[in-house]
Structure 1
Amino acid sequence: MKAGIFTIILLIISNVFMTAAWYGNLKLKEMHISTDWPLILVILASWGVALIEYFFMIPAN
């Protein structure tokens, strides 16, 4: 029972984080904040977001 609740909580955290990241990305584009970033910074930021999300998703699965 405990493992099931822990899994659900981890998946909810993962989903909420990725939803916030997606809407944050749209807001950055709308405000033209991320348009002048160098490519390496964009790559590192996107991989960083994915890494944080995987910290929650992989143990849940």
Structure 2
Amino acid sequence: MIDRIAPPMMLLLSNVFMTFAWYGHLKHKSAPLWAAILVSWGIAFFEYCLAVPANRMGSNVYSAAQLKGMQEVITLAVFAGFSILYLGQKITVNHLIGFAFIAVGAFFVFRA
């Protein structure tokens, strides 16, 4: 059971780090670009420390395509929350429709 639950949980947490690494600097546009890059690299280290073991452990239970599909859906969910809560941006109906299409794609990846 832990083999099925741990990888998605680790991917969820890794995506929080990844989203901050990729988009967190948008709230601090006055900082020099080189500083944003270095801070992003530092944050991304922790993302990799979770994503790599999650994928390795998850490959015992899930196919690579399933892991990638899971990753994309988790990424969109984390990004939507981050965009609203941290960046103060709105998610529109068009965004939700686009995210839903990606989630439908992930559904078909998991379908037997």
Instruction: Give 5+ residue unaligned stretches, structure 1.
Output: none
1:50 aligns with 44
**Is residue 2:50 matched to residue 1:60?**
no
1:26 aligns with 26
Deviations, residues 7-61 of structure 1 (Å, cap 9, x unaligned):
01000001122223333210011xx1x12x7x4x555323212211101100001
The alignment's TM-score, normalised by the length of structure 2, stands at 0.42
CA RMSD of aligned residues (A): 2.0
Over 3 Å counting, the alpha-carbon distance change for 1:60 and 1:16 in structure 2 is same
| d(CA) in 1 for partners of 2:4, 2:10 | 10
TM-aligned CA deviation for residue 2 of structure 1: 0.8
1:8 aligns with 8
Residue aligned with 1:14, SS? helix
| d(CA) in 2 for partners of 1:49, 1:7 | 20
Aligned length: 55
Q: Which has the higher contact order (CA 8 A, sep 6+)?
A: 1
Q: From the two aligned structures, give the one with the greater helix fraction.
A: 1
Runs of 4+ in 1 over 6 A off after TM superposition: none
The alignment's TM-score, normalised by the length of structure 1, stands at 0.69
| d(CA) in 2 for partners of 1:22, 1:11 | 16
Over 3 Å counting, the alpha-carbon distance change for 1:47 and 1:13 in structure 2 is same
Give the percent of matched residue pairs that are identical in Structure 1 and Structure 2: 49
TM-aligned CA deviation for residue 4 of structure 1: 1.3
